[in-house]
A and B are shown apart, each in its own frame.
Chain A
Amino acid sequence: MMTHQTTLAMASPLRAVQLALLAAALCVLCTGCARPANSMYCMDNYSSTLYACRKNPAQEQQDKHVKAMQDIVAKSEQRNLRVPPGIFAELGYIHLKAGQTADARKYFEAENRLYPESKVFTTRLLAWADASSGTGGDKPAPDDTAAGADDKGGVITPADAVNDAPVLPAGEGAAHE
């Protein structure tokens, strides 16, 4: 078939060819779907603004990523789509780190309502939000079994991940580690 003609086709960069093949590839990816898979959600610029944050971890990039996620929420609502998993929680976490606990709570609650699967996770995040708004500089510690890690001479196990005092969102995180 066309296996060895690859380079030939590449030499003539026809946009039409590219598009046709891309379309074909996409069709194969969604075999059997009555509608294209990407009509499930709107993820918009999520991946590209996140990538930009990694390339250049400046506040400006972070702000763009937050904006992209807020746009996802707005566009999803406009198009009557479910807001994708994790968007509300990530927005909440960024607000929590910035000390905006009231906003953080709202986002965590939205994730919790939208996705029952997130219950354990969002309940934990909400507890942190409460702890950091209620007790000021105190370390939010929903789990009170923080001794685990030291006992084992610094060897980290998943049990430690669970038992160790939960992470402090940065901004208040100077005391942590």
Chain B
Amino acid sequence: MNRMIAATLLLALALLGGCAHTAQSTKAELFPLMYEQKPRSIVVLPPINESTAADAPTYYSTTIQEPLVYTGYYVLPYEVSSDILAHEGITDGHQLYDLPLNTLKEYFGADAVLFTRIKKWDTSYAVVASHLTVAVECELKSTTTGEKMWNYSGTVVVDLTNHNTGGGLAGLLVQVVVTAMNTAMADYVPYAMQANAIALNAMPYGPYHPQHEKDTEHKVFVQKTADK
């Protein structure tokens, strides 16, 4: 419960003005190619894992289909497209990142390819405090031109510490034990979903969304591209 509250708070803060010092811009200014090329369909590639957790892609990949569908694009079912790609030896989006993507258009009929990069999927430990961090970066490339049409990242940091301090040394010990237990049980998936929500919120809406092509003036925070 505490973790849920913490994550919700962080999400709310990030959205409601925690980034007041960060520049904002409109979707049309930031992602003009989305409005020029008007992609309708997206195939999602297996995640590129830059985190230290080997199993992160397995679990992360269950979190992307649903929110992406809600952005209004035709999204090929990841369970099917990834299975097909796996049979062809492609199990990591990195394998296709620098290659021409037009074959994916021919094969799947997709206008765009979504690359996802798991930047962080870990828990940092301290004596009485620990944090869980999920950070993802999403990037949409055109299968026609190979150009990057959109990219955005989402980060969720969760305080796993149980704050019910009992006081005294005994309280501290209990807290350490509780922290360790929370960490062991930490389930990243709900936070991965929140990270996706943050990232995909900056994506121009697709043809099945009521706001399609009406969101050019929607403001999003300008993210530093240097934090690759």
Contacts and interface: CB of A to CB of B under 8 A. Distances in A.
Interface of A: 1-3, 6-7, 9-11, 13, 17-18, 21-22, 24-25, 28-29, 31-35, 37-38, 40-41, 43, 46-47, 50-51, 53-55, 82, 84-87, 89-90, 93, 115, 117-121, 124-125, 156-162, 164, 166-168, 176-177
Contact of A89 (B8, B76, B99, B197): B76
> What is the interface of chain A mostly: helix, strand, loop, or mixed?
helix
A50 B159 CA distance: 27
B11 to A, nearest CB: 5
B5 A2 contact: no
B79 A2 contact: no
B109 A120 contact: yes
A86 B215 contact: no
A6 B77 contact: no
A70 to B, nearest CB: 15
A47 B190 CA distance: 10
Given A46-B65, A89-B80, A2 B108 contact: no
Interface of B: 1-2, 4-6, 8-13, 15-18, 40-41, 58-59, 61-63, 65-66, 69-70, 72-81, 83-85, 87-90, 95-96, 99-101, 103-104, 106-111, 159, 163-164, 189, 193, 197, 201, 208-211, 214-215, 218
Contacts of B201: 29
A159 B102 CA distance: 9
B65 A86 contact: yes
A3 B208 CA distance: 37
A119 to B, nearest CB: 6
A21 B189 contact: no
Contact of B159 (A7, A32, A156, A158): A7
A89 B77 contact: yes
A10 B9 contact: yes
B62 A29 contact: no
Nearest to B85: A161
Nearest to B218: A32
Given A7-B159, A17-B5, A157-B99, A86 B16 contact: no
Given A10-B2, A25-B12, A118-B74, A33 B211 contact: yes
